Structure formats: C-alpha cells, structure tokens
A and B are shown apart, each in its own frame.
Chain A
Amino acid sequence: MVLELQKPRPIWQIMFSTHHTDVGLLYLISSLAFLFLGGTLALAIRAELFLPGAQIIADAMTFNRMFTVHGTTLIFLFIIPFASAVGNYFVPIMVRYKDMAYPKLNAIAFWMIPPAGALIWLGFADFTWYATPPYSIISAPGPAADMWIFGLKILGISSVLGAINFIVTILKCKHPDMSIGQVPLLAWSFLSSSLIILVAIPTFAAALLMLLTDRLGVSGFFNPALGGDPIAYAHLFWFTFHPEVYVLVIPAIGMMYEIIPRFSRKPIFSYGSGVFAFVLLSIVGFSSWAHHMYATGMSFTEKTVFMVGTLAAVPASAMHVFNFLATMWNGRIRFSTPMMWAVGGIALFFSAGAGGVVNSAMPLDFSTHDTYWVVGHFHLFVMGTIAFGSIGYLYYMFPYVTGRMYNEAMGKIHFILSFVGTVLVFFTQHVLGLYGMPRRIFDYPPIPEWIAMNQIASVGAMIIGVSMAVFLANMIHSSAKGTPTDTDDPFGLGGKYYYPFEARNPHH
C-alpha cells in the first residue's frame, strides 16, 4: 500500500489539487497546526491554575477567552479535520475508488477551515464552547462573539459537505465486486459518523443563526427579556453536540480497528459486532442529549428519560472495548508505536466511559456537573481516546505517506510521557471535581485539596507539553531525513496479509 510516495512537489501544486491524498495532506497539516496552537493555550491555562492568585495570565477576561478558544480549536480545528485527513487518505482506497466522489467539493470543504480558524482566533471570544445565552446575547463582547458564530457556521457547512462526500464515496463509489459487508471498519466508522453529522448539525446551524439575530436585537428566541427561553438553546445545542461527541470518537475507534488486528497479527475478533456497535451508537446517540441539562430545572420524568437514553448507549461503546481485547487475545502482538497508542487509548476509553456512567446517574451528576469532574471526563475521551487513536494512526500512516520511517524510540517516549501526563491531568481532575472545584474559573480560593490537585494536573500538562515537543521534532526530522522504508511492510509484521490495500491512486 502506497499512499503518496513520490518526488516532492511545489506547495502550490498540493494546495490547488483536488486529489484525495493531497486534500488529506492539507487536512493533516492544518489539523496538527491547530493541535499545537490549542495545546499551547492549555499549557497557559494549567500554568495559571498552578497556584491561587493571578500567575501568568493578565486578567479573567483573557483567561475566559483562552479556554473558549482552546476548546473550540481542539474539537473543531484539530479532531474533526484530523479525522477528515485519515478519511481522505484511506476511504477511497478502502472502497477501491480513484478518488473521493466529489473531488472539488472535497477541496472546498477543506478550504473553508482556514478562514473559520482565522475568525475564531482573531476574534478570541469568551463565551465558552457552548456560547450559552443569554450571556452570549447580552453580555459577551463583540465582535469576538460574532466572529466565533460565523466561524462555527462555516465549520458546520464544511463538515456537512465532507459528510456527504464520505457517504457517497462509500455507498455509491465502492468497487462493484465489493459488498458493503466487506468494507473495512475504518470506512464503516466514517459512514456512521457522517450520517450522524447530517442529522445532527442542521439543528445547531439553526441555533447559531437564532443566536446571531438575537445578538443583533432583531429576535428574542433565547432572550428572556424579549420573552425567549435560554433553555431552548441548550436543547438545540445538545441535540447536535451529544451526537457530535460520537462523531468525534467513532473515527478514532475506526483507526484503532486498523491498528489493533495488524499489530496483533490476527484478524479482527468480530467484524459484525464492530459494524453493529457503530450503527447502534449513531442511532441511540440521539436519545441522550439532555443529560447535559439535569441542573437546568427539568422535571423528574424528563431527567429519567434522558438518563435511560444515556445508559442505553453504553453497551455499544463497551462492545468495541471487548472486540479490541478479544482481537489481542492470543495474538502475536508487536508493541510498535502505533500499537502502544491504540492500547493506551483503549484503557483510557474504558476509564472515560466508567466516569461517564457516574455523570449519567442523576443524583450523582449534581455533585459532578460543571465541576472539574466533567472536564476530566470528556478529556479522557478527546485526549485519552481520540487524540491517542489519531496520533497512533498518524505514526501508522507515516511511512506510507512519506516513504520514510519515524524514529521509533522517540515515538515510544512520546507515548509514555503523554500517557503518564494524561493520567495525571485528567484522573486528578475527576477528584478535583469531587472536591467541588467549578470549571471555567480564572482563580480559586486557597483550599489545600484544590491546590494539591491543581498542581498535580499542571505538572501532568507540562509532561504532555514535553512529549508533544518530542513528537514535533520526530515528525519534522523524520519526514525529511528518516530512513527510507519498504512500504510493503514498514513495521516488519511479516506478510502481505496485514496490508490488504493494494490500490494506489495516481494523481489525475
């Protein structure tokens, strides 16, 4: 399998290309750039919280803007575009088609991301990644808030275009000899997450417009002063964004389905159960959105319904964990860098899910809601599961894309430091939440437990920071000077069996 290997080309040839691997490369580079930008904000936030009192960030407003842009960047400008990068490289090859179904649309979807990123970063809004009204209508300073709204609007359109492209590529362009039951699980993950996007995003797109007109003062959908209801926004937002968390996680699980069997040198334990769990999750995922709203004053019945909906989705996630472990069972496992990231990611996925079950149980959520527990919970997913799966996959695809091998020792150091750091930061934040520390605060009273937990978390964050420097150095150095590698079997797993995709899509 060779994805890209060829003589270096001038940058503009890649930028104006519509070929799927070129668009994939653009997605890849921009998502990694945003990973580092957003990560830098996280380090600043953690440094600020190392001690009570103002440390390195000038004032609360700057701090509030920083965590808002941090979250927005890593979700919308790193995780989602990174998945698109992988999808662009692999989905056409996996379904044995020459390109994405609509190559120009594909390039357009990518090119919407830089202007959206610019709006978000130049505006630097402060109203958190969910822009809750009425704060976002009556209090949040413009033009930052309006720029954020337009940025998100553009990103929403971009992901809908991308989703349409993946769905058509997989369902309509797959090779006639290939049945849908032979499409690899990674491609299934893109099919499922794209379907979720199509159903989920329009709701938020509408809510964003309503937010904008509310800000302009011409409507009052969410503004109680004009007879509106801010809780309506919460429903619209979470109707989109609870399913969206599965949009984030499903491709990462798909990437693990590529890595785990290869490096265990065994076929996947159950292909059918993987497909079933993806499809189930993308349906049941729509029944739980208001578990984010237990404390908004919902009735007992409403809360119960959404709790049941949330718990009902857990078996679908749990099935993947079983499938991974059963695949590894009795395998001839080789712990190369990609495998370490995937296995670490599974462990953190499991921990994250266990914490999620606690949030779902309504009486317990009143202890954890909007504390650092929730921050810890979802970071075990976004960092521990999704970033781990993605980074593991990046190491895995590296030799195919560059024709060179990354530095294995540095890859392992990167993993070990990141794993230790992730555990230190996000397990600790769960405990911090139980001690009652609210999220999104610039400063905190000198409660000894809070100080201790914050310091552990900050040290963990610095360790992740160091690991990411190792990562960057490895990627830059190895893509230019790494050892040229045999792209038939770069990981020495032995045998073509582990590399089933013969196709190579030449540039047209």
Chain B
Amino acid sequence: MGHHSNWPEWIYIGVVIALMTWVGAEAWEVERIVEHVPADAKVIKVVGQQWFWSFEHEDGTTEIGELHVEAGKAYKFEIESTDVIHSFNIHDYVVLMDAVPGRVNTVWFAPDKAGEHDIQCREYCGLIHYNMRGKLIVEDPLS
C-alpha cells in the first residue's frame, strides 16, 4: 500500500460508475415509457389458479387456457390469483406480471401482427407449475 500510484484504479472505478449510471438512466427512461398505458387500452381480466389461466374480456366473454385478441389494439391485463402466487407471462411480448392473491396487478401490451404465442406461468406454484401453459392467439382485425 502506498508505494505505487493508484490512478489506474481511479480511472477504472470512474468507468464502472459511468457505465452503471448510463445503464440506470436508460433503464429508467425505457421503463417510464413502457409503463404508460394508452388511454384506449381494452381491459382483460386475468385470473391465475392452480394450474390454469382464465380470461374475461370487457364484453363479458370468458376464455380458459386460450386468449384471443386483435392485432393493432392495446390491451391492459388486470391480473389476480385465487390461490397462490403465479406469474403471467407472454415471453414473446415481454409481458410479465405476478398474479398475487389479494392484489390486482396490471400490465399492458399491443400485439402488432397476427400469430400464436405461448402463455406460461413463471412463478413456482406447485405440482403442475411446469404445465400451467396457455395460448395467445392474435387475430387479424380484417379477417
């Protein structure tokens, strides 16, 4: 200690701090934007329970295991659970939000084109957690 100069370490620490500041600032900015729910988003109630997902659209129609939406529209999920914690996940659209009993968590997305995507549970919820899967079907509004 003390017999050599420490400036390379100071530069290094400076670089690390600068990098972390940049990561933090970018993350803050992106998250702020993606959390802003569009005013015209349609609400879909999502209920997780051991071990399946059920959905209720604004018009009262319900679905189990499958969710039909239209491309080009924005949707806001209101996520609940009736038993233990689950985590509602559409990985292709980076939709992830825990389904916590006693709370309503929200997250939104806007599918851009028609197609099928996996829905899965990403929080351990017991015996059949591995198969708590569903399908998101994005339809073309014209067809």
Q: What is the interface of chain A, defined by CB distance below 8 A to chain B?
A: 60-61, 64, 126-128, 132, 134-135, 138-140, 224-225, 228-231, 269-273, 295-297, 300, 303-304, 307-308, 311-312, 314-315, 318-319, 322-323, 326, 357, 360-364, 366-367, 369-371, 435-436, 438-445
Interchain CB contact under 8 A, B20 and A314: yes
Interchain CB contact under 8 A, B27 and A363: yes
Jot down 12 A-B pairs with beta carbons below 8 A, ordered by A: A60-B128, A60-B129, A126-B126, A224-B100, A269-B9, A296-B98, A296-B100, A297-B97, A318-B16, A323-B9, A360-B27, A438-B122
Is B121 among interface residues, defined by CB-CB distance under 8 A?
Answer: yes
Kindly provide the distance from the CB of A264 to the nearest chain B CB, expressed in whole angstroms: 14
Interchain CB contact under 8 A, A139 and B126: yes
Q: How far is the CA of A296 from the CA of B107 in the complex (A)?
A: 11
Is B13 among interface residues, defined by CB-CB distance under 8 A?
Answer: yes
Is B94 among interface residues, defined by CB-CB distance under 8 A?
Answer: yes
Interchain CB contact under 8 A, A230 and B101: yes
Q: Chain B: interface residue count, which band?
A: 35 or more
Which of A224, A311, A366, A442 is the one whose CB lies under 8 Å from B96? A366
In the complex, chain B residues whose CB is within 8 Å of the CB of A311: 20-21, 23-24
Q: How far is the CA of A443 from the CA of B120 in the complex (A)?
A: 13
Interchain CB contact under 8 A, A363 and B30: yes
- Most chain B CB within 10 A, of A314, A363, A369, A439, is at A363
Nearest residue (CB) in A for B120 is A438
Is B68 among interface residues, defined by CB-CB distance under 8 A?
Answer: no
List residues 67-93 of chain B with CB under 8 A from any CB of chain A.
83-85, 87, 89, 91-92
Interchain CB contact under 8 A, A326 and B8: yes
Interchain CB contact under 8 A, A64 and B127: yes
Q: How far is the CA of A33 from the CA of B50 in the complex (A)?
A: 37
Interchain CB contact under 8 A, A138 and B84: yes
Interchain CB contact under 8 A, A363 and B123: no
In the complex, chain B residues whose CB is within 8 Å of the CB of A303: 31
In the complex, chain A residues whose CB is within 8 Å of the CB of B17: 315
Is B116 among interface residues, defined by CB-CB distance under 8 A?
Answer: no
Interchain CB contact under 8 A, B16 and A315: yes
Q: How far is the CA of A127 from the CA of B127 in the complex (A)?
A: 10
Is B115 among interface residues, defined by CB-CB distance under 8 A?
Answer: no
Interchain CB contact under 8 A, B1 and A295: no
Is B110 among interface residues, defined by CB-CB distance under 8 A?
Answer: no
Starting from the known contacts A132-B85, A296-B105, A311-B21, 7 additional A-B residue pairs (CB-CB under 8 Å) come to: A60-B129, A132-B123, A270-B6, A297-B103, A315-B17, A318-B12, A370-B122
Q: How far is the CA of A438 from the CA of B124 in the complex (A)?
A: 9
Is B114 among interface residues, defined by CB-CB distance under 8 A?
Answer: no
